[in-house]
């Protein structure tokens, strides 16, 4: 993954551009990558920007709602709670409780080896 692609995904999230974000996600940008200089992940950036639809898109593609990032090592749901973003909190909690994003992570990972989840 090129750092530029990850930064372009982050820019698409900041701009609220789901089509551009979807393009970078489908091209293989790691959505759970924490940039060493920016200390954030795409999901945390979407939460901090209040982009509920972008949060949903990232979760649907395997973003980990329990991943900690940044100096404070907070999860996306902790950041959403602190910002009183109730819709995003509910969305993140629903994925955290069901393990939905972890299922999609393993499904994508196994697909690399041509093993399909049935």
Topology of domain 3-111 in CATH is 1.25.40
Query: pLDDT for 52-111, tens place per residue?
Result: 999 999 999 989 888 888 777 888 999 999 999 899 999 998 887 665 555 555 555 555
What are the residue boundaries of the structural domains of the chain, listed by start? 3-111
pLDDT tens profile 73-89: 888 999 999 999 899 99
Which string of b and e fits 85-113 if b means at least 16 CB within 10 Å?
Answer: beebbebbeebbeeeebeebbeeeeeeee
Q: Which long-range contacts (CB under 8 A, 24 or more apart) does 86-93 make?
A: 87/52, 88/47, 88/50, 88/52, 88/55, 91/52, 91/55, 91/56, 91/59, 92/47, 92/55, 92/59, 92/65, 93/65
- pTM, full prediction: 0.77
């Amino acid at each position: 993954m090129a750092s530029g692609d990850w930064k372009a995904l982050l820019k698409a999230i900041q701009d609220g551009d789901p089509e551009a974000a979807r393009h970078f996600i489908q091209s293989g940008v790691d959505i759970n990558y924490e940039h060493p200089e920016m200390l954030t992940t795409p999901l945390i950036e979407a939460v901090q920007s209040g982009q509920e639809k972008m949060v949903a898109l990232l979760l649907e593609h395997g973003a980990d709602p329990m991943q900690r990032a940044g100096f404070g090592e907070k999860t996306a749901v902790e950041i959403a709670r602190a910002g009183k973003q109730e819709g995003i909190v509910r969305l993140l909690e629903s994925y955290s409780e069901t393990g939905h994003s972890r299922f999609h992570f393993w499904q994508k990972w196994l697909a690399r080896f041509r093993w399909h989840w049935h």
